Amino acid sequence: MSSTATNDGVRLAYEEHGEGEPLLFVQGLGYDRHGFGPLPGLLASDFRVVVFDNRGVGDSDVPEGPYSVEMLAADAVSVLDAAGIESAHVLGVSLGGFVAQELALSYPDRVRKLVLCSTAPGSVPPSYPMPERGLQAFAQFPTLGREAGFRLMVENSLGDHGVRERPELVEEIYRYRLERGPTLAGWQAQAYAGATFDAYERIPAIMAPTLVVQADADFVIDVRNAQLLAERIPDARLEIIPDRGHLVIWEEGEMLAPMVREFLRT
């Protein structure tokens, strides 16, 4: 059952699972709290897992855009406040990784440890741009019908290994996207937030212990951005997952769960 937080009149749906130290999951572009694959459930046996819908998706409000990462970070703080959590570990995926970085920079007292998955220091140089194959998919998406557009984005995000070896996972994520996918307006408002974010010069100020997780066959985030994060965030730990795509948390949740658990407990 979901609860509701509010930030500046915008309602944000969230829910909690498990007990222990709080762990806030922050989602990426166009995905809601149901779109993390198995990872939240695998970690809820050890942590108080909080998942929520960013503005623009799921059961949260869809105010007129565009949005900013700063706005999305303030929403995340409102969720922590509503849940009565003073500070939490934060795991951000893709656009959610941008939000997680902003949380660690603008609200350092609210972040215990940071896990950055499939993300970058931003979307402008010196961060590396989206690979060409991803750029083509993102350009096509708004021009396609709902079903064709979501299938294209699922296959692009899951990557060649997942499409080839896990056809049942392709269909699972595709069904989820059809059921829970945002409106085009919500997607575009979030996309603007991602496209205008740049934390490259600021991330050396992140003091939260940080784990960077990146797949090396990601068509959405260039793998070299993970190295930038690991080099510029003090004492960050880097884990590269070979031959997997942007949705590595879906495809390899059982691999990532013990990695994240060990990092957060150490």
pLDDT of residue 197: 97
The reported pLDDT for the residue numbered 184 is 87
**Tokens linked to 258:** 């013990």
Residue 62 lies in a domain: yes
In a domain, 115, yes or no: yes
- For residue 9, being part of any structural domain is answered with yes
Is 154 domain-assigned? no
Give me the CATH number covering residue 206: 3.40.50.1820
Domain that holds residue 251: 3-129+183-265
Within-domain flag for 178: no
Q: What's the mean pLDDT when you consider all of the chain?
A: 96
Which pLDDT band, with edges at 50, 70 and 90, does 234 fall under? very high
pTM recorded for the entire structure? 0.96
Q: What mean pLDDT do residues 107-129 have?
A: 97
Supply the pLDDT for residue 142. Answer: 84
The average pLDDT across 22-43 equals: 97
pLDDT of residue 12: 98
Q: How confident is the model at residue 113 (pLDDT cuts 50, 70, 90)?
A: very high
Number of domains forming the structure of the chain: 1
Q: What is the percent of the chain with per-residue pLDDT over 90, rounded to a whole number?
A: 95
In this predicted structure, what is the pLDDT of residue 61?
97
- Give the closest residue to 171 by CA, choosing from 159, 182, 155, 184: 155
The residue behind tokens 């003073």 is 86
Using a 10 angstrom Cβ sphere, with 0-12 exposed, 13-18 middle and 19 or more buried, the burial of residue 41 is: middle
pLDDT score for 192? 96
C-alpha to C-alpha distance for 217 and 246, rounded to whole angstroms: 8
What pairs with residue 15 in β-bridges?
A: 51
Token pair of 139, please?
A: 């350009």
H/E element holding 147? helix 146-165
In this predicted structure, what is the pLDDT of residue 141? 86
Query: Of 93-102, 135-144, 148-157, 223-232, where does mean pLDDT reach its minimum?
Result: 135-144
CA distance 74 to 185: 21
pLDDT digits (tens, 9 = 90+) for 173-192: 999 999 998 998 999 999 99
Residue 210 lies in a domain: yes
Distances (CA, A) of 230 to 98, 140, 188: 14, 32, 29
pLDDT digits (tens, 9 = 90+) for 141-173: 889 888 999 999 999 999 999 999 999 999 999
pLDDT bucket at 99, cuts 50 / 70 / 90: very high
pLDDT above 70 coverage of the chain, percent: 100
**Confidence at residue 43, expressed as pLDDT on a 0 to 100 scale:** 98
The verdict on residue 169 lying in a domain is: no
Residue 203: pLDDT band (50, 70, 90) is: very high
**Residue 122: inside a domain, yes or no?**
yes
Q: Is the pLDDT of residue 130 over 80?
A: yes
Per-residue pLDDT at 237: 98
Distance CA 155, CA 142 (A): 16
Q: How large is the average pLDDT for residues 123-128?
A: 95
